[in-house]
Amino acid sequence: MTRKALSARWVIGHENGAHVIFENGCVVIEGTKILHVGPAFEGEAERIDYGEAILSPGFIDLDALSDLDTTILGYDNGPAWKKGRVWPQSYIERDPYEMYSPDELAFQKRFAFAQLIRNGITTALPIASLFYREWGETVAEFEAAALVADEMGLRAYLGPAYRTGGQVTDSKGNIRPVYDEARGLEGLEEAAAFARRIDGTAQGRLRAMFAPDRIETCTEALLQRTHAIAAEMGAPVRQHSCQSPTELRLLQDQHGTTPIDWLDRIGAIGPNWLLPHGTHASDRDFALMADHGATLVHCPLVSARHGGLLRSFTAASAQGINIGLGTDTWPPDMILNMQVGMMTGRIAETQSALTCAMMFDAATLGGAKALDRPDLGRLAPGACADITVIDLSRTLQTTDPIQTIMTSTSGHDVRDVWIDGRRVMADREIPGFSDADYTRAQQQFDGLIAKYPDRTAGHPPVSEIFTPSYRRAK
């Protein structure tokens, strides 16, 4: 077994429960694990010197974009119910349909997984929209996703999203829930069967997760059953919650309380629950997250694009809430998300309240804690050899590598990525991925946009759904 000794100007190591910095450091890989982290290594090894670069723990994305992101279409186009983000009653009556073919869905995952790797994400919990689906995600597409993740070397927690309900709007924007509980419970059982098959495959890189859709349209039975199965398996549950005024209203109308309080009342929350986004959480919601040991999944970029932010990263952390990060939108750039999280966090609080180290911890150690994986999110002997190499040769460096990441780099600066000791991206190249994939992705995205009138209230043409920033000259 050939050892590989990676060296660089900066190495983010880990000692005594915290990240540490080695200048002119070295990381030695033996098999799938890290053998050595420190200033030098005298033993025999194949040596790779990255020069002016950072050897960082691979990023852990708890809400990892895994489709062609339709939220970017709403950036200057709202409100959501008028722009195809809520199904109109007329679409329900005509029967929702799959807007992508099975081949297109498989390509989406392959394209998305490549983007995650390209941005230094080594562990991913995929998330995709259900707006363009007939109902939920399918086991068949996740069987294909598992094959792709294995081929590309991505460490992934996989499970199709399922739901017992959805949102529907009338012509005036009155949004209400509609339910098909039997269909949702069947989706859960199919997801559970998939979870049992997939968990621990691909030399342990693939694990199971459970992904009930938005909390406002999940029934009590669905969440209780999810909680029981996931607890038995030791698998994470990701539940989107506390993310919009509409969600809060629907929870209050249906259950007379707030999202996390409802989970607490029905006994469907625990340390394995991952909760994006928290931007509309009450003080009691935060307190209950802390009491149950749940993880708050902070997705700064997608929240900020729509005028939202996490009101107090530091207060949540001080309460004992574990905080991890998610991308959840295009581009799936974890570095950009950390930077936006720093800026919005300091706007919400003060400059000194939120430090670069706190945000970097969320992208690494917070994700590892959420997954109960002390072998991830750190570069230390015995940990998995998941390493992100950030090139600094074309940027302006500060005196500290973490502060340099937050001020002077982006996902484009990720040069190499190692997962389980395998170099899955070298010199920004991913085997089997080319510029032609970007062309195909755009063509597929354009095809979906063309179908937007079908699921938009009033069924206006695309030109009225998405308005240009400036007049189109002729």
Structural domains of the chain, ranges and CATH numbers in brackets = 1-57+377-433 (2.30.40.10), 59-375 (3.20.20.140)
Q: Is 19 helix (H, G, I), strand (E, B) or coil?
A: strand
Tens digits of residue pLDDT in 369-387: 999 999 999 999 999 999 9
Q: Any bridge partners for residue 426, and if so which? A: 429
Q: Up-side HSE of residue 261: CA atoms within 13 Å toward CB?
A: 12
Arithmetic mean of pLDDT, 407-411: 98
Q: Is 455 helix (H, G, I), strand (E, B) or coil?
A: helix
How far apart CA 112 and CA 332 sit, in angstroms, is 9
How far apart CA 14 and CA 30 sit, in angstroms, is 18
Q: What is the DSSP string of 103-147?
A: HHHHHHHHHHHHHHHHTTEEEEEEE--STTSSSS--HHHHHHHHH
Share of the chain above pLDDT 90, in %: 98
Arithmetic mean of pLDDT, 111-133: 97
Q: Any bridge partners for residue 8, and if so which? A: 25
Q: Any bridge partners for residue 5, and if so which? A: 28, 47
Q: Which helix H or strand E contains 165, and what residues bound it?
A: strand 165-169
How far apart CA 321 and CA 312 sit, in angstroms, is 12
Arithmetic mean of pLDDT, 26-34: 98
Arithmetic mean of pLDDT, 324-353: 95
Q: How far, CA to CA in Å, does 472 sit from each of 461, 465, 467?
A: 16, 15, 10
Q: Over 90: is that where the pLDDT of 2 sits?
A: no
Tens digits of residue pLDDT in 66-84: 999 999 999 999 999 999 9
How far apart CA 260 and CA 257 sit, in angstroms, is 9
Share of the chain above pLDDT 70, in %: 100
Tens digits of residue pLDDT in 58-69: 999 999 999 999
Mean pLDDT of the chain: 97
Arithmetic mean of pLDDT, 339-349: 96
Tens digits of residue pLDDT in 97-112: 999 999 999 999 999 9
How far apart CA 249 and CA 214 sit, in angstroms, is 13
Q: How far, CA to CA in Å, does 214 sit from each of 149, 231, 238, 243?
A: 25, 20, 10, 9
Q: Up-side HSE of residue 3: CA atoms within 13 Å toward CB?
A: 12
E strands present in 31-116: 33-38, 46-49, 53-57, 59-65, 87-88
Contact 240, 213 (CB under 8 A): yes
Look at residue 29 in the predicted model and tell me its pLDDT. Answer: 98
Tens digits of residue pLDDT in 226-278: 999 999 999 999 999 999 999 999 999 999 999 999 999 999 999 999 999 99
Using a cut of 0.85, tell me whether the model's pTM lies above it: yes
Tens digits of residue pLDDT in 319-334: 999 999 999 999 999 9
Tens digits of residue pLDDT in 130-174: 999 999 999 999 999 999 999 999 999 999 999 999 999 999 999
Record the tokens describing residue 45, joined without a space: 């090894």
Look at residue 127 in the predicted model and tell me its pLDDT. Answer: 97
Q: Over 80: is that where the pLDDT of 363 sits?
A: yes
Q: Over 90: is that where the pLDDT of 1 sits?
A: no
- pLDDT-based confidence at residue 351 (cuts at 50, 70, 90): confident
- pLDDT-based confidence at residue 410 (cuts at 50, 70, 90): very high
How far apart CA 205 and CA 223 sit, in angstroms, is 26
